[in-house]
Structure 1
Amino acid sequence: MKPCYYLLLLLLRPALLWAQVPASSPPDAPIQTARTELPLSNSSSEAHVQPLPADSSVVVLLGRDKPFTSKTSYFFQRYNRELQLTQETEVAVPDEFSFARMCAEGTVVYALFSSRVTPGRLWAAAYSGVLGQVHIQQFDTKLSREIVELKALDGRLFATVVLADQSHVTALLLEVATGRMQYLAAVYEPAPTQFTFVANAAAGRAEYVLSQTNGRKSRLQLKQLSDRGQLIHSEFIQTESERSLITAQISPPQDTTARLLMGTYSLRDPTYAQGLFATDLTQGNGPKAPLRFYDFLRLKHFFDYLKPARQARLRARVERRLAKTLPPLRWHYRLLLHELRPQADGSYVLVAEVYYPHYRYNNYGGFGPIGSAGYSPSPFSYSNSRVFDGYQTTHVLVCGFDRQGTLQWDNTFVVDNLRRYELEEAVRLQTLPDGRLVLAYIDEDKLRYKVVNRAEHSPNDLQVPIQTAPVGTVEKVADTSNADLQPWFGSRFVASGYQRLRTNRGPEREVFFLNAVAF
């Protein structure tokens, strides 16, 4: 453990504690119980946050540019449930590596870095905050390129990676303790195959759900692997009808009394979702339970993101088609599925973010080409350039299923101003002590949320500001960047990001913040 100059600044600025809720806050508003700030700017540092529900701590991997060099110093920092710094441990990351992914298992945090110099070279660090130790390991995978997902299982890292040919996706097993590495031959699919993945050390296995398509129809393949990457079982899930199965999530393997598969299906076109499906896989050697299909139109709240008049026209149009026995309308929705969340009563909750790729168009003007007759009929012309501008989320679907996979209820969180460049979870879920659910995300300097009680209607526009100082202190947020909200422990979240703050007295300051948010 080595001290650094900004640690002293941090210790001189302890976490701000408060439990007040402003009088203007809406019902069920969260309490922001603690905040800590690091005097850092987004342009000269990086910070990656990993909450640890196992011991109610938060670990931050902090990287800060060394002055007058292109090198970065990295530190693991551990904070307690009051967001007070309890430990800082330096980790000597070689200069050629850049941060790629981070995950945790229990109280151990794993950070994976990729080389900017040698393609396929990875560098891993395993940090134990309890012991205050870091174990490092380097891997020369040769063929791996982009790291899509990272999870830990019994001290081993399972990484979903894109290979060097950019045409295949596979899984890579990394043992940080021993340096052993292997590609998992059981998981090797052509891109852009969709993978979902759950792992549990107690059950001693990992389970992959892979999508496979021939361009017209798609199916799913389930593969169970041991914690050492050996294939235990494989099976296909497909339909006899015109429906195609796009992607799905499987229930966590630690629940040995239920094995559910829930996901999205399409009609003929394997790109867009028509609705949800669910099935119970715990039939043993007997006949398999049938797949249950739920067209989005059957859901009570799916179209809540539309204005009432447009909803009414849509349903009237569907009724006219049904009266004429015409084929059903085909929807054009894309859904990002979260992992299934088991509930205290034995049921499961599925959360899916409904999104679409967003583009902006640049118009460029210039002199047109000279025609064959020696002149240009249009001496000044325009050309359009389409530029990808992130994934725009319109609403979030949340559904409750019983242990046999039967849909019990559904609800929708209509979101605003939610766009990100990586297709990753942006809206987070926590369960309240009374069984209600909270869906929340950060929008600039605000925390937007919705409290869900099964299918009951509730407001979509609840929000509270991210508090920057105890109540009574006047402080204005000039800018917020890299903001994130992650589930923590109990019904708490941890919010993080960079902010530029202004006060009536004193200069503007830049900080990286952590806020404890308790519902």
Structure 2
Amino acid sequence: MIRILYLSCLLLSTTLHSVRAQLAQSLRIEIPSNPDEAESFDVTPLNEKGVLMSIRTGGFYETTPVTFNFQKYDINLKLLWKTTFKQDTKYKPIETYNNDQYAYHLFREYDTDQFQFLRLHLDDGVVETFEGRLIDQFDVHQFKVMGSQAYIGGYHHGRPVVMTFSFFDQSTKVLPGMYVNHMEISSLEVDDVRKEVNVLVHSLKRHCKFSIRTYNYDSKLLRTLDFDGAEKALISGKLLPVNEHESLLVGNYSTDCTPYSQGVYVTRIRHSDSGNVSGSAATDAPTTEIQYIEFSQLQNFFNYLKPNRQQKLLARAKKKKDEGKDYKFRYRLLVHDLQPTADGLTLVAEVYFPQYRGSALGYGGYLRGADRYEGYRYTHAFICGFDKQGKLLWDNCFPIKELLSTDLTEMVQVSQQGDRMILAYPNDGEITTEVIQGNKVLKETEKFKLQTNAENEKVTFSAQDNLMAWYGQHFLACGFQKISPSKHISTQREVFYLNKLTYSEENQPTKSTSAKTKKSDGSDR
């Protein structure tokens, strides 16, 4: 039996493990899962407003009807409303996006320029659909919404394109200045306060120029900011407004115009007047020089390694520097969205490398062959705290053990508990956690196993376990389990579970974060 499962879920996790355990399971609901059907479960936390669950069934074959069941629960996991939407089989799901008021789904008709946008009202479950034409052969990678306008980023014949779609009159526009060769979209960010859209792009040509292009709500190019990559090439970037006129730009950089990171960077940007009416775009400029922070300058970046190996690596790097040469680190980073704090911001990034079957090749491996590819192997995450001026305050490290994912997704999740942070990632039915406070580790890594509420039941199989900070000191965990009475293994049932978990130690308030993951399971069951 072929099974396809997609999840968009959450972090942090499980039952009371000892008197001083951090997490306790308080509520749980189970939804029977049919292994004979193509199923999709999408869970979105809504802070104190509850949680949204989207269940998609059907559509595995061209003639199989597709049904979406949207269900909203309150903070006690009591059902508030339920809405069913039957989708035309010609449309296939592409991307989703959520804000405080709506949940959006983007669909397209296969191999055409026909797209459909679904808007779900979170207060009452009312569904609206909007149809329009974008461009044919559009490989969509980004989808955001601001006001009554959607922004869709991707590639057309290998060139980057960002289009807008109006829910008001179904009109479309193409953001100017994007359709060029040898350029990639690093990120697409909407600024609801300033009513602006920032498209961060980097060139794949020599010197690897990195640019921020800012557009207003009418798709007019307002400002551009270019960074020359002759010596240090910015690979990625994330923007975080710190006041009405300034933002912090944070990301990772390389020294040889490759995807391999040498460290992280930060700079402050003062925005020019967005009311420019001269007909040409204004140019932003950094208010401070870019601060480049090499990995060897971070106090705890290499703590995922054993002490002897860590010392040897740092010694090699120091020797190169003493000789006047650069030591080339070869790390691939998955950089999370920046999280604002009272002091400034927190940067979280995960280090990974592609893994191939029968190979121990790491960061710079060149083994080829799709039949040998296994997925992405994660080694560790590092966390940095910056103040509002862009000064590095502290850094820390979270080792990741034996975690392999077929998709490159954010596995490590962070929950702010006062001046502490709870770091966690799921793997094979268990959640590994660590508690830090700045550059200190308050509690070393611990593992917590997800369980059912009944003592006489046993979890025999667990897949796609996910968790995420919800609100206050509460969390959500979700995934798939096969469950049976401990003495009768053959009578097992399969469910999609949703658990409410509570962080009990010191009862400090939690600042909610959000993360999306997508997984697929095509195994025979």
Q: Under TM normalisation by the shorter chain, which class is it?
A: 0.7 to 0.9
Contact 2:270 2:285 in 1 (8 A): no
Name the SS of the counterpart of 2:52 in structure 1. Answer: strand
In structure 1, the residue matched to 2:522 is: none
Matched position secondary structure for 2:320: helix
Q: Residue 277 of structure 2 corresponds to which residue in structure 1?
A: none
Matched, 1:139 2:132: yes
CA contact (8 A) 2:346 2:384 kept: yes
* Change in 2 beyond 3 A, CA 1:48/1:385: closer
SS at 1:315's partner residue?
helix
Q: CA deviation at 1:228?
A: 3.9
Cα distance per residue 1:76-111 (max 9 Å; x no partner): 111111222211101121112222222111131111
Q: Name the aligned partner's letter for residue 232 of structure 2.
A: R
Residue of structure 2 equivalent to 1:408: 393
Q: Which residue does the alignment assign to 2:365? A: none
Q: Residues of 1 paired with 2:383 and 2:113: CA distance? A: 38
CA–CA separation in structure 2 for the residues paired with 1:20 and 1:385: 37
User: Distance in 2 between the 1:188 and 1:33 partners?
Assistant: 52
Counterpart residue number, 2:69: 75
Choose which of 116, 136, 160 in structure 1 pairs with 2:153: 160
Check 1:124–1:443 CA distance in 2 against 1; reply closer, same or farther (3 A cut). Answer: same
Can you list the C-alpha shifts for 1:256-275, whole angstroms capped at 9, x where unaligned?
25411111111124321111
Structure 2 unaligned segments of length 5 or more: list them: 1-12, 273-283, 360-367, 504-525
Q: How does 1:209-220 map to 2 (within 5 A)?
A: 209-214=200-205, 216-220=206-210
Deviation at residue 361 of structure 1 after TM alignment = 4.9
Q: Secondary structure at the match of 1:218?
A: coil
Q: How many residue pairs are counted as aligned between the two chains? A: 468
- The answer as to whether partners of 1:431 and 1:491 remain within 8 angstroms in 2 is no
Query: Which is higher, the Rg of structure 1 or of structure 2?
Result: 1
Q: 1:407 to 1:122 in 2, by over 3 A?
A: same
Residue 330 of structure 1 deviates from its aligned partner by 0.4
1:193 to partner: Cα distance = 1.4
| 1:280 and 2:268 are equivalent in the alignment | yes
Task: Show the counterpart of 1:4.
Answer: none
Aligned equivalents of 1:505, 1:176: Cα separation in 2: 56
Residue by residue over 1:308-331, the C-alpha shift from the partner in whole angstroms, topping out at 9 and shown as x without a partner, is 1101112222333344x2302100
Match of 2:350 in 1: 353
Q: What pairs with 1:68-467 in structure 2 (closer than 5 Å)?
A: 70-116=64-110, 118-163=111-156, 165=157, 167-190=158-181, 193-214=184-205, 216-238=206-228, 242-252=231-241, 255-256=243-244, 258-282=246-270, 288-323=287-322, 325-343=323-341, 345-361=342-358, 387-432=372-417, 434-467=418-451
1:57–1:81 Cα contact (<8 Å) kept: yes
CA contact (8 A) 1:209 1:250 kept: no
Alpha carbons of structure 1 residues 266 and 150: separation in structure 2 relative to 1, 3 Å:
same
| Contact 1:348 1:401 (C-alpha < 8 Å) held by counterparts | yes
Unaligned residue ranges in structure 1 (runs of 5+): 1-18, 363-382
Query: SS in structure 2 opposite 1:305?
Result: coil
User: Matched residues in 1 for 2:151 and 2:404: separation?
Assistant: 28
Separation in structure 2 between the aligned mates of residue 287 and residue 245 of structure 1, nearest angstrom: 14
Aligned-partner residue type, residue 173 of structure 1 = T
Matched-pair identity in %? 24
- Please provide the CA RMSD for this pair: 2.8
Deviates most, 60-69 or 176-185: 60-69
User: Measured at CA, do residues 141 and 466 of structure 1 come closer, stay the same or move farther in structure 2, by a change above 3 Å?
Assistant: same
Kindly indicate whether structure 1 or structure 2 has the higher relative contact order, using CA contacts under 8 Å at least 6 residues apart. Answer: 2
Q: What's the counterpart of residue 471 of structure 2?
A: 489
* 1:208 Cα deviation after fit: 2.0
* SS of corresponding position for 2:441: coil
Partner letter of residue 291 of structure 1?
A: I
Take 1:174 and 1:440, find their aligned partners in 2: how far apart are those partners?
37
Residue 64 of structure 1: how far off its partner (Å): 2.0
- 1:246 counterpart letter in structure 2: I
Equivalent residue of 2:318, what SS?
A: helix
Deviates more, 1:105-114 or 1:302-311: 105-114
Amino acid at match of 2:353: Y
TM-score, scaled relative to structure 2: 0.82
Task: Give the conservation status (yes or no) of the 8 Å contact 1:126–1:176.
Answer: no
Is the Cα contact below 8 Å between 2:429 and 2:463 reproduced in 1?
Answer: no
Q: 1:287 to 1:269 in 2, by over 3 A?
A: closer
Q: Distance in 2 between matches of 1:474 and 1:487?
A: 29
**Structure 1 residues 498 and 217: alpha-carbon distance in aligned structure 2, compared to 1, 3 A threshold:** same
Change in 2 beyond 3 A, CA 1:66/1:305: closer
Which amino acid counterpart does residue 194 of structure 2 have in structure 1?
A
Report the Cα offset of residue 130 of structure 1.
1.0
Cα deviation for residue 255 of structure 1 reads 4.0
Out of 183-192 and 455-464, give the one that drifted further: 183-192
Cα 1:219–1:286 shift into 2, 3 Å: closer
2:267 and 2:286 in contact (8 A); partners too: no
Q: Distance in 2 between matches of 1:56 and 1:306?
A: 42
1:357 partner SS = strand
* Distance of 2:270 and 2:21 partners within structure 1: 39
